[in-house]
């Protein structure tokens, strides 16, 4: 039996949440914490296998509560027991590296060219992620401090209008098949995590099912080339500038280099989110935050130079950061889904913050703002 509900979970007070953080199920967290101003900042480490293989509704609800509490407090969690095998992830890394090692003129043949399509190769400096929506300000940021990364963007391959841009099979054998299989695998994980979120928000477990089933997602392969450390110490410069993500969730697979930082919503300080072997970093995106009337946080994050110890322990030239790889699966609602605050997350004390918007309207606008 599910526990008796007194109030919808969107109404849990900060005092109750502090009490939840003190219980045993919050004891697993990242080793890096921000204890400034009496506000502990921990990214929860959650064993998702307990939800995937639960033998009782109460067990599923316990994990769902952990996940929702993590997204309320931090906006980020680490998942173990997510069901994606290490060799699958390693093969995606391998094929991603093979693509980025291609000559520049071959990569340019599949260049990104349309924010609605959001497919293809993006060279270093073309994107400048930011929270700004001012075109002139973004252009100035891109000129002064462009993102020091290159990416490959992949969407659903059966879209009736927008087609993926694939390299020739002879250039990267197995690339297309590997990425399409991984796309499906990540969609399946996204679907199950969204079921847990629905439960944790006192919704029917399948509430989001028909709103995310069209797989309007974006698989992003990221390559961060070596860069002088001094450049990343300059004002405004980062491997990827501070930003929030756009959709429901992001599934992030990190290599061992590190550099991801997450902003503590209370102190505004950026704290490292170091790689933990075998985990997937999962964070809330803007549209899920809008759905929940900001009950769930869409937290700012960025990618900077890794720690000094990481740099000093690698075989790279002095003063250079090591190359970094990551894989981000940006989970989105269906493009025609209308995103408006859930009734349970709106009250007299917390009125509705956002007007309704479709997924397509929101994401296409954000992409058009951040790309050159």
Residue 2 belongs to some domain of the structure: no
Residue 64 belongs to some domain of the structure: yes
Cα separation, 142 vs 228, whole angstroms: 18
Q: In this predicted structure, what is the pLDDT of residue 327? A: 97
Q: What is the pLDDT of residues 251-279, one digit of tens each?
A: 999 998 888 999 998 888 999 999 999 99
Query: Up-side HSE of residue 356: CA atoms within 13 Å toward CB?
Result: 7
**Higher model confidence: residue 18 or residue 111?**
111
What are the helix (H) ranges across the chain?
Answer: 14-21, 49-52, 57-73, 86-100, 104-107, 135-144, 175-200, 229-232, 286-291, 308-312, 359-370
Residue 1 belongs to some domain of the structure: no
Q: What is the pLDDT of residues 206-228, one digit of tens each?
A: 999 999 999 999 999 999 888 77
Mean pLDDT value across the chain: 83
Residue 4 belongs to some domain of the structure: no
Residue 360: give the domain boundaries.
9-370
Using 50, 70 and 90 to split pLDDT, how confident is the model at 36?
Answer: low
Residue 23 belongs to some domain of the structure: yes
pTM of the model: 0.84
Question: Quick check: 309 pLDDT over 80?
Answer: no
Among 114-128, 184-198, 222-236, 308-322, which stretch is predicted with the lowest mean pLDDT? 308-322
Q: What is the pLDDT of residues 59-108, one digit of tens each?
A: 999 999 999 999 999 999 999 999 999 999 999 999 999 999 999 999 99
Q: What percent of the chain stands above pLDDT 90?
A: 62
Domain count, the chain: 1
Of 330, 185, 363, 183, give the one whose Cα is nearest residue 252: 330
Residue 343 belongs to some domain of the structure: yes
Is 112 within 8 Å of 182 (Cβ atoms)?
no
Residue 133 belongs to some domain of the structure: yes
Q: Token pair for residue 337?
A: 């889904």
Q: In this predicted structure, what is the pLDDT of residue 242? A: 83
Q: What is the pLDDT of residues 132-169, one digit of tens each?
A: 445 554 444 445 445 678 999 999 999 989 999 999 99
Domain CATH number, residue 265: 2.60.120.330
Cα separation, 106 vs 166, whole angstroms: 11
Residue 155 belongs to some domain of the structure: yes
| 7 CB neighbour count, 10 Å cutoff | 12
């Amino acid at each position: 039996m599910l526990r008796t509900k007194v109030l919808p979970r969107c109404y849990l007070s900060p005092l109750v949440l502090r009490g939840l953080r003190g219980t045993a199920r919050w004891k697993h967290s990242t080793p890096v914490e921000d204890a400034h101003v009496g506000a502990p900042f921990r990214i929860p480490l959650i064993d998702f296998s307990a939800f995937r293989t639960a033998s009782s509704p109460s067990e599923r609800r316990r994990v769902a509560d952990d996940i929702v509490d993590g997204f309320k407090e931090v906006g980020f969690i680490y998942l173990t027991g997510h069901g994606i095998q290490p060799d699958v992830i390693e093969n995606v890394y391998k094929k991603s590296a093979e693509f980025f090692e291609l000559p520049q003129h071959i990569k340019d043949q599949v260049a990104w060219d349309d924010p609605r399509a959001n497919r293809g190769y993006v060279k270093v400096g073309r994107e400048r992620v930011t929270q700004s929506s001012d075109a002139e300000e973004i252009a100035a940021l891109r000129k002064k401090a462009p993102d020091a990364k290159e990416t490959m963007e992949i969407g659903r391959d059966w879209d009736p209008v927008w087609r993926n841009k694939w390299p020739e099979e002879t250039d990267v054998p197995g690339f297309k098949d590997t990425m399409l299989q991984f796309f499906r695998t990540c969609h399946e994980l996204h679907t199950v995590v969204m079921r847990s979120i629905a439960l944790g928000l006192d919704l029917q477990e399948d509430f989001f099912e028909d709103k995310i089933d069209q797989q309007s997602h974006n698989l992003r392969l990221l390559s961060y080339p070596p860069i002088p450390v001094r450049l990343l110490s300059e004002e405004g410069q980062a491997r990827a500038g501070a930003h929030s993500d756009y959709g429901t969730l992001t599934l992030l697979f990190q290599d061992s280099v590190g550099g991801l930082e997450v902003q503590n919503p209370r102190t505004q300080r950026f704290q490292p989110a170091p790689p933990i072997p075998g985990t997937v970093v999962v964070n809330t995106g803007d549209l899920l935050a809008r759905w929940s009337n900001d009950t769930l946080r869409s937290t700012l994050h960025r990618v900077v130079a890794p720690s000094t110890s990481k740099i000093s322990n690698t075989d790279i030239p002095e003063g250079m950061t090591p190359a970094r790889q990551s894989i981000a699966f940006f989970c989105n609602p269906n493009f025609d889904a209308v995103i408006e605050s859930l009734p349970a997350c709106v009250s007299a004390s917390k009125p509705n913050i956002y007007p309704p918007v479709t997924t397509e309207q929101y994401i296409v606008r954000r992409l058009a703002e951040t790309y050159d």
